[in-house]
Amino acid sequence: MANNLFDDSEKEQPSGKIATIAFDSGVDNVFDYLLPDKLGDVLPGQRLEVPFGRANKTTQGFCIAIKPAEQANKKHKLKFVKKIIDAAPLLDERLLAFGKWLSDFYVCPLGQVLSAMLPAAVKKGTGEKQVKHICLADRQEHNLKSKKQLQIIDALKAANAFDADSAIELNGLLQSLNIGTTVANKLVQAGIAKFTSQTFLRELPVVPAGMLLKTDKVILNAEQKTALDEIIKKIEAEKFSVALLHGVTDSGKTEVYIRAIEKTLEKGKSAIVLLPEIALTAQTVQRFNCRFKNIAVMHCQLTASQRNAQWQKIKTTSPLVVIGARSAIFAPVANLGIIVVDEEHESSYKQDTVPRYNGRDAAIKLAQMTDAICVLGSATPSLETLYNCKTKKHFSYLSLPNRVMNLPKPEMKIIDMAAEKFAKGVNLISEELQTALKQTLENKQQAILMLNRRGFSNFIFCPSCRYTLKCRNCDVALTFHKSEKLQKTIEIKDRIKGGFAMCHYCLSQTLVPHKCPMCGKAVTMFGLGSQRLEDELMAKLPNARIVRVDSDSMQKHDYYKLLADFDAGKIDILFGTQILAKGLHFPNVTLVGIISADSSLQIPDFRANERTYQLICQVAGRAGRSSKGGRVFIQTFLPNQPAIKFAVQNDFEGFVKEELKHRKLCLLPPFGRLAIVRMRDTNFDRLTAGSQTIAEQLTNLIGSLGLDIKLTGPMPSTISRIQRFYRMQIILQTANPANLAPLFDSFRRLKPSNSYIQTQIDVDPINLL
Ligand code: ADP
Ligand code: ZN
């Protein structure tokens, strides 16, 4: 390009300093640039504009360190930084260090992590307004004839407005003096006064007006007091520690969080409260809002300028309480004292795009880095957290076993679908559930039906002798998976074509017989669809007002309106996915039905049992939230399945014990740490070969570094093709979590063996599909 004939950089005066820069373009490296003298001081955490690559494309990056020029990487001739973008660092030292940890632990380029830590609205400055100010140019006296000009000068003198920092907002001043802009312009033209500009951001209310609820301060019960006392001891100690607060819904956990936060604020420190996005309703936010003076909210329903305003508020207010979804863990609070992670077991804390972090685990790390307290709350804690409480010295276990208001526990009932004598055709609703629905409607009460449609495959089952196809190595039911490849290539006598059965624990696969090996009758695969349920409900309850809720198709706004309608009694039966299981409070709901408890068991994931238990427990919490009581019907073909059996008996401990047995045998979390390397390519053969190379590279590194890591694969992912991309995966398992970091540290430095294959690394994966 002609412009490059005269290289500008030759003319720059170097300042003797170098900025190290991380880019969010996906390059997994950082780069050094010379700082020109004319730019003045640059600080880590500011964004800079630099020429990047051979074409010197103008690119933005984060300054992550400043060092003397002598420490430069001498191999390359360094280029000059062009421009400073942010007046002040967007990320302070604490957040930069946190970002570095995330980048290392979750194997993600540092620049991408830093970029993800900032809301887009903050990076763009959405909603910021430049407001014109005025101050005097100097302290000289001026002999002026214009009375109006003198008036302005007097006002500026009175306000001590002699520089940009003390400047007065122009419009306000002119209005109060009843003077027009031309007068001020003349003063500036004469060099007597100066205009300056200040950035302003309107604070926008994030809590809907008219929703200000008042709560009387409750008196904690003995259990809450014991738990709170323990947490307060930790707050007083001002050392890193984690407390698990294990308590059923309505046991008063939130009340304990609030008190712990009050104590933290008294010490001048701030709090971050993480909630699953779906639980961030106006009610929840409002509950915190009416207990704390300074609160900021970060979630996806805010507008861009609201988000920027909230972020700026966090940066400038201390101490304060930040409430938000997963990414609120990146809030720029100055002096962090406590982090609360409610519903810590929720899989939605894991982000499934880069950086693939888990908000809960990141919270624990951040608490450790800042000597803060982390409180994890759940009615059904994750096995990982329970295990940490047993084995790690910083963790402690606190429990709230009872509901605060002595409401009767809902009555739980298993319906064995295999024993149902159905009329012709397929039936998803048992006779008993149908009768209960009718009664509920007659009593002018409401029902919620849950159909977990996420299950995409069927389990294999003999309807006559109830034999279920099981894994050879583990005591678990196998799941049927459709496979395009098998459809085309393999045809084996007596075996079901087009798919295979798979074990969610050891991942072994087998073909499926047409006939039951026990009784010789034909096997069945059980599956269901929500459309079918809708038709059936309409046919069986023709007068009921029924609405289907679908988290995918329904807009947020419609969802809230729907919930309001349901609350107002305009709908009799609400049915839909898991979204209905969470945090809804409808006193008139006395019946809850889980159409198929089996469908969440079918997901090919070793956490399927754990999720099923959690789900039943959560859904059950929706029934009987008033003195009217409640009934929960759980339909299943597997009434003796441990997750279902224990959930109905409310025996969490029993469930955990049973589940841990399987996990231990297969070195799965919490006993082992997992990482998945996923590879995809549109060309199947290229993918197969490339995946093999990657597996070999990893195997070699494991060997040369002497790490105790088990590598399985490459093998096709459970869903072997998505959007025309074939998918393969390599699973890494280790008993010692410290093993993964050195492996990936070396692996990410290798040159990619094949530029067609897209590789992603998922550490502590939640989604195994
Ligand atoms: P959780 O977070 O475990 O679901 P909450 O803290 O939300 O429980 O408490 C459930 C309800 O009980 C709330 O309406 C709360 O105001 C009320 N509550 C909590 N603790 C007490 C208490 N000690 N006495 C009376 N009511 C309480
Ligand atoms: Zn198995």
The per-residue pLDDT for range 533-561, each reduced to its tens digit, is: 777 888 889 989 988 776 544 555 567 67
- The closest of 507, 511, 509 to 676, measured between CA atoms, is 507
| pLDDT higher than threshold 50 for residue 249 | yes
User: Which pLDDT belongs to residue 557?
Assistant: 57
User: Which pLDDT belongs to residue 521?
Assistant: 86
Instruction: Tell me how far the alpha carbon of residue 253 lies from the centroid of ligand 1, in angstroms.
Output: 7
Which residues have a Cβ under 8 Å from the Cβ of 733 and sit 6 or more positions away? 667, 668, 672, 673, 674, 709, 710, 712
Instruction: Tell me how far the alpha carbon of residue 732 lies from the centroid of ligand 2, in angstroms.
Output: 17
| pLDDT higher than threshold 80 for residue 409 | no
In one-letter notation, the amino acid at residue 520 is: G
| pLDDT higher than threshold 80 for residue 627 | no
Q: Are 304 and 127 in contact (CB under 8 A)?
A: yes
CA quadruple 300, 301, 303, 304: dihedral, nearest 10: 0
Q: Are 635 and 433 in contact (CB under 8 A)?
A: yes
Which residues have a Cβ under 8 Å from the Cβ of 360 and sit 6 or more positions away? 274, 341, 344, 349, 376, 385
Poorest-pLDDT segment among 126-130, 193-197, 224-228, 476-480: 476-480
Alpha-carbon distances, residue 666 vs 372, 389, 662, 673 (angstroms): 35, 21, 7, 11
| Ligand closest to the CA atom of residue 662 | 2
Q: Is the peptide bond before 670 cis (omega within 30 degrees of 0)?
A: yes
Alpha-carbon distances, residue 677 vs 481, 558, 699 (angstroms): 21, 38, 13
Measured by CA distance, the residue closest to atom 11 of ligand 1 is 250
Write the burial class of residue 410 (CB in 10 Å: 0-12 exposed, 13-18 middle, 19+ buried): buried
User: Which pLDDT belongs to residue 536?
Assistant: 82
C-beta of 253 in contact with ligand 1 (< 6 A) = yes
- The closest of 234, 283, 280, 282 to 256, measured between CA atoms, is 234
Q: Are 486 and 461 in contact (CB under 8 A)?
A: no
Highest mean pLDDT among 178-187, 403-412, 698-707: 698-707
pTM for this entry: 0.82
Instruction: Tell me how far the alpha carbon of residue 379 lies from the centroid of ligand 1, in angstroms.
Output: 14
| pLDDT higher than threshold 80 for residue 759 | yes
Note the pLDDT tens digit of each residue in 429-467: 888 999 999 999 999 999 989 886 533 345 677 878 878
Classify 238 in phi/psi space as left (phi over 0), alpha (psi -120 to 50) or beta.
Answer: left
* Distance in angstroms (rounded) separating the CA atoms of residues 253 and 390: 21
Binned at pLDDT 50, 70 and 90, residue 475 comes out as low
Note the pLDDT tens digit of each residue in 102-111: 999 999 999 9
Helix, strand, coil percent content, the chain, rounded in steps of 5: 35, 25, 40
| pLDDT higher than threshold 80 for residue 398 | yes
Which residues have a Cβ under 8 Å from the Cβ of 309 and sit 6 or more positions away? 127, 201, 202, 203, 204
Q: Which atom of ligand 1 is nearest to the CA of 221?
A: 23
Highest mean pLDDT among 263-272, 298-307, 443-452: 263-272
**168-169 β-sheet, strand order:** 168-169, 128-136, 193-201
Phi, psi of 219 (to 5 degrees): -95, 125
| pLDDT higher than threshold 80 for residue 628 | no
Measured by CA distance, the residue closest to atom 24 of ligand 1 is 218
User: Which pLDDT belongs to residue 394?
Assistant: 95
CB atoms closer than 10 angstroms to residue 704: 9
| pLDDT higher than threshold 60 for residue 348 | yes
C-beta of 111 in contact with ligand 1 (< 6 A) = no
User: Which pLDDT belongs to residue 704?
Assistant: 96
User: Which pLDDT belongs to residue 23?
Assistant: 95
User: Which pLDDT belongs to residue 483?
Assistant: 63
Strand bridging mode 47-52 / 83-84: antiparallel
Poorest-pLDDT segment among 28-37, 357-366, 598-607, 754-763: 598-607
CA quadruple 235, 236, 239, 242: dihedral, nearest 10: -30
C-beta of 249 in contact with ligand 1 (< 6 A) = yes
Alpha-carbon distances, residue 690 vs 389, 483, 693, 701 (angstroms): 41, 21, 5, 17
Phi, psi of 36 (to 5 degrees): -75, 150
What value does the mean pLDDT take over residues 577-593?
76
Instruction: List 83's β-bridge partners, or say none.
Output: 49
Q: Which residue has the higher pLDDT, 74 or 571?
A: 571
Highest mean pLDDT among 212-221, 300-309, 474-483: 300-309
| pLDDT higher than threshold 60 for residue 97 | yes
H-state helical runs in 267-403: 282-289, 304-316, 359-370, 383-391
User: Which pLDDT belongs to residue 231?
Assistant: 97
| Ligand closest to the CA atom of residue 405 | 1
Average pLDDT, rounded, for the chain: 85
* Distance in angstroms (rounded) separating the CA atoms of residues 380 and 613: 8
C-beta of 583 in contact with ligand 1 (< 6 A) = no
Measured by CA distance, the residue closest to atom 20 of ligand 1 is 252
Write the burial class of residue 9 (CB in 10 Å: 0-12 exposed, 13-18 middle, 19+ buried): middle
C-beta of 220 in contact with ligand 1 (< 6 A) = yes
User: Which pLDDT belongs to residue 67?
Assistant: 92
C-beta of 247 in contact with ligand 1 (< 6 A) = yes
Half-sphere exposure of 371 (CA within 13 A, CB side): 6
User: Which pLDDT belongs to residue 654?
Assistant: 94
User: Which pLDDT belongs to residue 622?
Assistant: 74
CB atoms closer than 10 angstroms to residue 529: 12
Strand bridging mode 193-201 / 128-136: antiparallel
Alpha-carbon distances, residue 226 vs 29, 223, 229, 232 (angstroms): 49, 5, 5, 10
Q: Are 588 and 445 in contact (CB under 8 A)?
A: yes
Ligand 1 pocket test, pick from 220, 248, 255 with the greatest ligand atom count within 8 Å of Cβ, gives 255
DSSP labels, 649-706: TT-HHHHHHHHHHHHHHTT-TTTSEEEEEEEEES-HHHHHHHHHHHHHHHHHHHHHTT
Poorest-pLDDT segment among 156-170, 304-318, 459-473, 519-533: 519-533
**Percent of the chain residues topping a pLDDT of 90:** 45
What value does the mean pLDDT take over residues 112-119?
96
Q: Are 606 and 668 in contact (CB under 8 A)?
A: yes
Q: Are 150 and 123 in contact (CB under 8 A)?
A: no
